[in-house]
């Protein structure tokens, strides 16, 4: 409960913010109220600078609501790099020649939430499509372009191995991400027990070996599954993508939401010529490409095919 107001006591910062919020019905990020308790000063200009840098480097659009998140993630980088203020950290990032910190900065600001068989409705659709394609083509090429820690591309590989004769030997899955640390986890292919809960027991047994560590069981992807995958760091903003087409399937799920519409369109315009004429693009549940109907048309359930007439 708010303490009764004393006419003699000056209002604290959080009380003043609460009053302004009440008066204007605005929602302030919680962090603004705790700003005085922060280890490093973080002003609006610092946030604007971060916002511009990550947009230019990775296409990620940060709304003002992300100030708190940006502070806590980058405060860790300040500590690691021994910087005394956000200004010093960002100057070092921008103006030091060959600043090695770009990787740390980008990795800190990406959001990597993922899981095995996330958005499960996609996997039977993928299986059906792969069976059709396997009857027509000897080699099937898939690009999972925001692979995060690997749960998504391994789910794709499990689906292919299960639905195709010969265990999906003809399938190759390129797994890429901008963030080098999640990609290293993906390449390692080892997951704690709570991460593999969504994998049906039979598939878990078939495609993973169980090992014990002092902190609990660990599940490692078996070599027959892993050999379908290759890993590389790719920024979707880069002018060249080291991925060879034609591709049968592109998985680009839950990454476009971080980009603005013009950036999304540019990426979609580059995906289109890489796909086979009957190829498929799988998007995330909240991603719609209605602004790119000249490039892709929806088949429902956030699966897309090439538009009949591309301009």
Ligand X SMILES: C[S@@+](CC[C@H](N)C(=O)[O-])C[C@H]1O[C@@H](n2cnc3c(N)ncnc32)[C@H](O)[C@@H]1O
* Total interface residues for ligand X by CB under 6 A: 24
The smaller minimum CB distance to ligand X, of residues 67 and 110, is found at 110
46, 177, 179, 248: which one is catalytic?
Answer: 177
User: Which of 69, 99, 237, 307 is the binder for ligand X (CB under 6 A)?
Assistant: 237
Query: Residue 295 interacts with ligand X (CB under 6 A)?
Result: no
CB of 132 to ligand X, least distance (A): 24
CB of 120 to ligand X, least distance (A): 12
Query: Residue 235 interacts with ligand X (CB under 6 A)?
Result: yes
Query: Residue 114 interacts with ligand X (CB under 6 A)?
Result: yes
d(CA 212, CA 99): 40
d(CA 255, CA 143): 14
Burial (CB count <10 Å: 0-12, 13-18, 19+), residue 258 = buried
Query: Residue 173 interacts with ligand X (CB under 6 A)?
Result: no
The smaller minimum CB distance to ligand X, of residues 134 and 292, is found at 292
Reported as type and span, the H/E element at residue 250 is strand 247-252
Please enumerate, as own/partner, the contacts of 100-106 that have beta carbons within 8 Å and a separation of 24 or more.
101/77, 102/57, 103/180, 104/77, 104/80, 105/53, 105/54, 105/57, 105/74, 105/77, 106/54, 106/57, 106/58, 106/178, 106/179
97 tagged catalytic: no
Mind telling me the catalytic residues? 73, 177
Which residues contact ligand X by CB under 6 A?
A: 58-60, 110-114, 118, 146, 148, 152, 177-179, 182, 235-237, 253-255, 258, 284
């Amino acid at each position: 409960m708010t303490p009764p107001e004393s006419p003699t006591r000056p209002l604290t910062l959080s009380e003043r913010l609460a009053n302004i919020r009440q008066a204007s019905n605005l929602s302030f990020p919680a962090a603004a109220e705790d700003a005085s308790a922060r280890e490093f000063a973080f002003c609006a200009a610092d946030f604007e600078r971060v916002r511009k840098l990550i947009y230019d480097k990775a296409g990620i659009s940060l709304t003002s609501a992300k100030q708190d998140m940006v502070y806590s993630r980058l405060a860790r980088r300040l500590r690691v790099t021994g910087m005394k203020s956000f200004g010093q950290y960002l100057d070092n990032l921008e103006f030091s020649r060959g600043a090695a910190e770009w990787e740390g900065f980008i990795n800190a600001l990406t959001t990597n939430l993922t899981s095995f068989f996330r958005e499960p409705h996609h996997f039977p659709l993928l299986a059906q499509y792969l069976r059709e394609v396997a009857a027509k083509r000897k080699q099937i090429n898939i690009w999972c372009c925001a692979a995060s820690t690997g749960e998504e591309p391994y789910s794709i590989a499990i689906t292919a191995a299960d639905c195709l004769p010969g265990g999906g030997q003809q399938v190759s899955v390129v797994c890429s991400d901008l963030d080098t640390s999640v990609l290293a986890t993906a390449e390692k292919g080892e997951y704690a027990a709570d991460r593999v809960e969504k994998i049906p027991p039979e598939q878990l047994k078939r495609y993973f070996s169980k090992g014990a560590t002092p902190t609990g069981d660990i599940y490692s992807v078996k070599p027959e599954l892993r050999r379908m995958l290759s890993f590389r760091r790719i920024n979707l903003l880069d002018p060249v993508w080291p991925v060879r087409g034609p591709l049968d399937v592109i998985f680009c799920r839950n990454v476009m939401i971080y980009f603005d519409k013009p950036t999304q369109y540019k990426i979609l315009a580059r995906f289109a010529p890489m796909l086979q004429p009957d190829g498929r693009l799988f998007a995330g549940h909240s991603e719609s490409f209605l602004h790119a109907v000249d490039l892709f048309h929806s088949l429902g359930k956030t699966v897309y095919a090439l538009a009949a007439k591309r301009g």
